[in-house]
A and B are shown apart, each in its own frame.
Chain A
């Protein structure tokens, strides 16, 4: 069974699976948890030498790697724990206030 939840906010209470049981495995990728963040890791690509330490340490697999290179951070799932910024040997990741960053985006 593939659980299509793209319009879940429009569902009637009758449509939800009884007891909140989820019978569609591997759907946690649909559950965006980035909203928990207080601090946001912001990457400075100029300082990065692609050692991939951030990728190895990230507990939420939120470091985006393409063709062996870090290209960004997945803010849909990054919870802002700051491990990447602490472990980065070249200080290429800075933790910034999430509220201020969001305000900047919204301007």
Chain B
């Protein structure tokens, strides 16, 4: 089959809405919040115009959005919603219900800082707070990946070995509101890839009734259900790669748990999430041309966290810098990616030194200059200089007192 390229220029939110159009979910329940609003706006127009068969529910809050999504998914529908920041915060208790009931809901989350002070720009503190809620989390570098990840998320969530909800992260404004060049998949290919949902049960099927959301405190099998969720997460490590490979066959763009750049011979490395990888990548390419053995790991799957796979790729690396776009406020322990990577490396015999750069909070730019500073630090440490500070705040104003 000859496939002509369909190259377009879209802002990230429209790229996600385009993926939602092709997925054509049965139900979308959503409430607007900056910077996610544009996704819902575009998609609700599609629903109003009859371009999709989706039953669009304009709910009164994010709490209701996730509640409606849970009900619709338990009814056997393919369900999506999307949110940002405070909206994700308002969904909180329902996040755990969606994952605990094993409902394959897909939710693009446009990463935005959490108040206070009120701030609408990008950081990862919203989704990082939800890291233990039992949702799979995929991060996107650009609009292309936000689009590709949304399509793949449906397949991953609905896989019978997983049946967990998936958040697709895209950086607020940097990805969501910047025009980007991307390749769209033809509708036929997208629909064939996404396939049909075959729910195990449906609340609407009166000939095969099911009871969902049952009380479990008298006999107490709650612990067992939590172990099943953990197993689903472990299975996801495999399935995310399989789906990413299959997506590659259909589109030419393959995906794994993370993307290693120049890691075969790297002695120093940077690991990052989301749009920062674009900036880091361009610097790394320059440095590699200049003969510096530096590499990058673009972490795509934060949940599940691919610990064993990261250990393998970091073998032989002397120093690795972890870029965190959120703080865990643990009093000097660093950001969430740093903590998890250090934990993953603990049993490694010749582990690299790991230093943390918390950057970009509330949308502060990760400039080329700041990236160069990180690389300089790494080179000095690899050259024998002692680590001055394990946790660094990159781009923080430290002027007059």
Which single member of B102, B214, B221, B223 contacts A18 (CB below 8 Å)?
B102
Chain B residues with CB under 8 Å of A18's CB are 102, 163, 200, 228
B334 contacts chain A at the CB level, 8 A cutoff: no
B101 touches A13 (CB 8 A): no
A23 touches B208 (CB 8 A): yes
A16 touches B208 (CB 8 A): no
**What CA separation (Å) do A31 and B220 show in the bound complex?**
12
Q: Is the contact region of chain B dominated by helix, strand, or loop, or is it mixed?
A: loop
B399 contacts chain A at the CB level, 8 A cutoff: no
Against A, the Cβ 8 Å flags (1 = close, 0 = not) of B209-232 are 111111010110101110110010
Assuming the contacts A13-B224, A13-B228, A14-B228, asked whether A20 and B214 have C-beta atoms less than 8 A apart, the reply is: yes
A89 contacts chain B at the CB level, 8 A cutoff: no
Q: Which residues, 44 to 80 on A, are CB-close (under 8 Å) to B?
A: none
B100 contacts chain A at the CB level, 8 A cutoff: yes
Chain B residues with CB under 8 Å of A12's CB are 224
Which single member of A20, A33, A35 contacts B221 (CB below 8 Å)?
A20
B239 contacts chain A at the CB level, 8 A cutoff: no
B209 touches A25 (CB 8 A): yes
B103 touches A22 (CB 8 A): no
A-B contacts, 19 listed (Cβ < 8 Å)? A9-B219, A12-B224, A13-B224, A16-B224, A16-B228, A19-B101, A19-B225, A20-B100, A20-B213, A20-B214, A20-B225, A21-B214, A22-B210, A22-B211, A22-B214, A23-B201, A23-B208, A23-B211, A31-B218
**What CA separation (Å) do A9 and B100 show in the bound complex?**
21
Point out which of A8, A11, A18 has the most chain B C-beta atoms below 10 A from its C-beta.
A18
Chain A residues with CB under 8 Å of B103's CB are 19
Query: How far does the Cβ of B235 sit from chain A's closest Cβ, in whole Å?
Result: 12
**Closest residue on chain B to residue A16 by CB atoms:** B224
Interface range, B side:
20 to 34
**Closest residue on chain A to residue B103 by CB atoms:** A19
Point out which of A9, A20, A31 has the most chain B C-beta atoms below 10 A from its C-beta.
A20
Against B, the Cβ 8 Å flags (1 = close, 0 = not) of A1-37 are 0000000110111101011111101000001010100
A35 touches B218 (CB 8 A): yes
Against A, the Cβ 8 Å flags (1 = close, 0 = not) of B337-378 are 000000000000000000000000000000000000000000
**What CA separation (Å) do A8 and B212 show in the bound complex?**
19
Chain A residues with CB under 8 Å of B218's CB are 31, 33, 35
**What CA separation (Å) do A9 and B231 show in the bound complex?**
20
**What CA separation (Å) do A8 and B225 show in the bound complex?**
14
**What CA separation (Å) do A48 and B280 show in the bound complex?**
85
Query: How far does the Cβ of B211 sit from chain A's closest Cβ, in whole Å?
Result: 4
Chain B residues with CB under 8 Å of A35's CB are 218
**Closest residue on chain A to residue B232 by CB atoms:** A18
In the A-B complex, the 5 residue pairs with the closest CB atoms = A13-B224, A19-B102, A22-B211, A19-B101, A13-B227
A19 touches B100 (CB 8 A): yes
Chain B residues with CB under 8 Å of A20's CB are 100-101, 213-214, 216, 221, 225
**What CA separation (Å) do A23 and B74 show in the bound complex?**
12
**What CA separation (Å) do A20 and B100 show in the bound complex?**
8
Assuming the contacts A8-B219, A35-B218, asked whether A23 and B210 have C-beta atoms less than 8 A apart, the reply is: yes
Assuming the contacts A8-B219, A33-B218, A35-B218, asked whether A16 and B210 have C-beta atoms less than 8 A apart, the reply is: no
**What CA separation (Å) do A89 and B163 show in the bound complex?**
55
Chain A residues with CB under 8 Å of B219's CB are 8-9, 31
**What CA separation (Å) do A18 and B221 show in the bound complex?**
12
**Closest residue on chain B to residue A26 by CB atoms:** B209
Point out which of A8, A14, A19 has the most chain B C-beta atoms below 10 A from its C-beta.
A19
**What CA separation (Å) do A25 and B221 show in the bound complex?**
19
Q: Which residues, 100 to 129 on B, are CB-close (under 8 Å) to A?
A: 100-103
Assuming the contacts A8-B219, A16-B221, A35-B218, asked whether A21 and B228 have C-beta atoms less than 8 A apart, the reply is: no
Chain B residues with CB under 8 Å of A13's CB are 221, 223-225, 227-228
**What CA separation (Å) do A18 and B161 show in the bound complex?**
10
Contacts beyond the supplied A13-B224, A23-B201, A23-B211: 12 A-B pairs with Cβ under 8 Å = A8-B219, A8-B221, A16-B225, A16-B228, A18-B228, A19-B100, A19-B102, A20-B225, A21-B101, A21-B201, A21-B211, A21-B214
